[in-house]
Amino acid sequence: MDTGQRESILVVEDEKKISGIVRGYLEREGYRVTTAETGEQALRLLSEAFDLVILDLMLPDMGGEEICGRLRENSDVPVIMLTAKSGEEDRIRGLGIGADDYVVKPFSPRELVARVKALLRRAGKTKKKSFSYNRGRLRMDVELHEVMLEGSQVVLTPTEFKILLSLADNSGRVLSREQLVTIVQGYDFEGYDRTIDAHVKNLRHKIEKDSREPEFIKTVYGVGYKFIGIPDAD
């Protein structure tokens, strides 16, 4: 990167040959690489901040799903799952528990590097720190976790903040209840769809003048929710 700050990647893989090759390719691209061979080691290392995690699904002490699930409890770092299982079900499961992408073994290291770059690019885009809508009526500060409505602070729960940020980040696109559950909880949990409605209701109560004619969060019947605030020029 031209900022001089190299992005750091954690590679969790018990097969040394594979992690060695992956490390080589990533370091050649200028990334800082840390490796872990077990789930336990990975979880210990994950208390540090990484820009991306490459995670093998099959580790000697625990499954990649479990690590990913635990990681998602407090982090939205991009995760690429390495899997030897190419079954459709495993792929969907991999993404359902919060992995952002997956690569099936045997894979080409070049392809993996391309996926890493694409994912980091995507993650970089969402790193915008503050948002402002409807001529400053609604402002959000991502780092401070602060929302201001007409200049006054609105106190949101962490879940409400996550929902609002996710919707705003996907402005104009409908997010389904299932997607919001996954974003909020880090994994899909059947039967939790209706609690999303309850959170959105509370959120609207706090930021909308008239919930029946929302300015920011629109209900798309039978599908989910869409953010309709008009972004202000930066």
Which residues here bind Ca ion, judged by CB under 5 A? 14, 56, 58
Q: Is 196 helix (H, G, I), strand (E, B) or coil?
A: helix
Identify the burial level of 222 via C-beta atoms within 10 angstroms of its C-beta, where 0-12 means exposed, 13-18 middle and 19 or more buried: exposed
Which amino acid would we find at residue 153? Q
Q: How far is CA 111 from CA 1, 13, 115, 116, 121, in A?
A: 20, 17, 6, 9, 15
What does the chain come to in residues? Answer: 234
How far is residue 134's CA from residue 46's CA, in Å, rounded to a whole number? 39
Residue 132 in contact with residue 93, Cβ under 8 Å? no
Closest distance of CB 105 from Ca ion, Å = 9
Q: Shortest approach of Ca ion to residue 24 CB, angstroms?
A: 18
**C-beta closer to Ca ion: residue 7 or 37:** 37
Find the shortest distance in angstroms from Cβ 128 to Ca ion: 36
* In contact, 47 and 23? CB cutoff 8 Å: no
Written as six digits, the tokens of 209 are 């003048």
Nearer CB in complex with Ca ion: 42/180: 42
CB of 225 to Ca ion, least distance (A): 39
Token pair, residue 123, equals 């993650």
Residue closer to Ca ion (CB basis): 36 or 163:
36
Closer residue to Ca ion, CB minimum distance, 58 or 95: 58
- Nearest distance from C-beta of residue 18 to Ca ion, angstroms: 8
Q: Please state the closest distance from residue 56 (CB atom) to Ca ion, in A.
A: 4
What are 208's two structure tokens?
């909308």
Nearer Cβ to Ca ion (63/96) = 63
Name which of 21 and 58 has its Cβ closer to Ca ion.
58
Minimal distance, residue 212 CB to Ca ion, in Å: 53
Q: What stretches of 133-218 show up as alpha helix (H) in DSSP? A: 158-169, 177-185, 193-207
Give the residue nearest to Ca ion (CB): 58
Of 45 and 174, CB closest to Ca ion = 45
Q: Report the distance separating Cα 158 and Cα 129, nearest Å.
A: 17
